[in-house]
Amino acid sequence: MKQPISLIVNGERYDTLCQPNLTLLEVLRENLQLTGTKHGCELGECGACAVLLDGEPVLSCLVLAMECAGQQITTVEGLARGAELHPLQAAFADHGAAQCGYCTPGILLTAKALLERNPCPSRSEVREALSGNLCRCTGYLQILDAVDAAAQVLREEQR
């Protein structure tokens, strides 16, 4: 039986009906049409579906949508600041950190959580934080460079 569910995604409230066994990934993509969050493996192995739940990165393929009611969900669609890209997004575009781009949303959100927790991460801390996000196109180095560059921009904003 479908049940009503209310989700707060990127600050907006969405009311929808869904089966209680649906994952957050499925509800975001299929019910709310927020397709920026990607399917990669649906087994919690690739990181493509990472979103933030109250600021913490989670794999949306391993979380039931029902569990997320009332929590703040952030997806890639909620990263930009109005018309302006988030510094992470801008840095990813500038550094060639997105090639096919399919893993990019999950990596952006994982990196955002890292930088909120640790505004000045070392290279090895960035690697560690992103170690659950697989990318098959890049050599990861552009991704690491982009996170460094964005961290710097964010630190300057804080001053």
What are 110's two structure tokens? 């994982």
Q: Find residue 72's DSSP bridge partners.
A: 8
Which among 66-74, 97-105, 113-121, 151-159 is the span making contact with other proteins, rule CB under 8 A? 97-105
Kindly state whether residue 125 participates in binding other proteins, applying the rule CB under 8 A.
no
Q: Which of 20, 80, 120, 155 binds other proteins (CB under 8 A)?
A: 80
In sequence order, which residues have a C-beta less than 8 Å from that of residue 78 and are 6 or more positions away? 9, 10, 11
Which among 62-70, 113-121, 133-141, 151-159 is the span making contact with other proteins, rule CB under 8 A? 133-141
* DSSP result, 85-133: PPHHHHHHHHHT--SS-SSHHHHHHHHHHHHHH-SS--HHHHHHHTTT-
Cβ atoms within 10 Å, residue 28: 26
Nearer to other proteins, 30 or 159 (CB): 30
Residue written as tokens 């890209």? 85
Nearer to other proteins, 154 or 159 (CB): 154
CB of 20 to other proteins, least distance (A): 12
Binding site for other proteins (CB under 8 A): 19, 21, 29-30, 33-43, 45-46, 48, 75-77, 79-80, 85, 88-90, 92-96, 98-105, 108, 126-128, 130-144
